[in-house]
Amino acid sequence: MKWIHIRDNIYKCPKCGAKFSINLQKPWKCCPICEQKISGISTHSRTNEEVIRNMPTEELADYLFDRGNCQEYCYGICAYQDECEGDQDEDFCKKQIMKWLKSPVHLTY
């Protein structure tokens, strides 16, 4: 088994899924959580989907916010546009995105 690259210098244990910052010059030989023996670093090329799925909520909110702002993107799409005057600051928008990301899914099909 090998460490799975998540992003930057963050790697995940292939057995328990615990994430760690690892120095590539001296990678750990086993996971400190589950004690799984690890033989090296995975060379698997990650997809954009894998990167997005492994983002913490705050980082994903930043990512979504950076893809557009109220003037370009949110109008008609933002779940909180009724609360927004279109001139909210970045922190307000990111908090609303994080609130939406953590809310239950409402399937409509």
Residue 84: what pLDDT?
A: 65
Asked whether 70 and 86 are in contact (CB, 8 A), the reply is yes
* Rounded Cα distance, 18 and 9, in Å: 14
Domain ranges in the chain? Answer: 1-39, 55-101
Q: Inter-axis angle of helices 90-101 and 57-66, to 10 degrees?
A: 120
Residue 79: what pLDDT?
A: 62
Name the residue with tokens 């009724």.
82
Number of Cβ within a 10 Å radius of residue 99:
13
Residue 78: what pLDDT?
A: 63
Question: pLDDT per position in the chain (109 positions), as tens?
Answer: 777 877 777 888 888 888 888 777 777 788 888 888 877 777 666 677 777 887 888 888 888 877 765 555 555 556 666 666 666 677 877 887 888 788 887 776 6
Residue 25: what pLDDT?
A: 72
DSSP state of 58: H
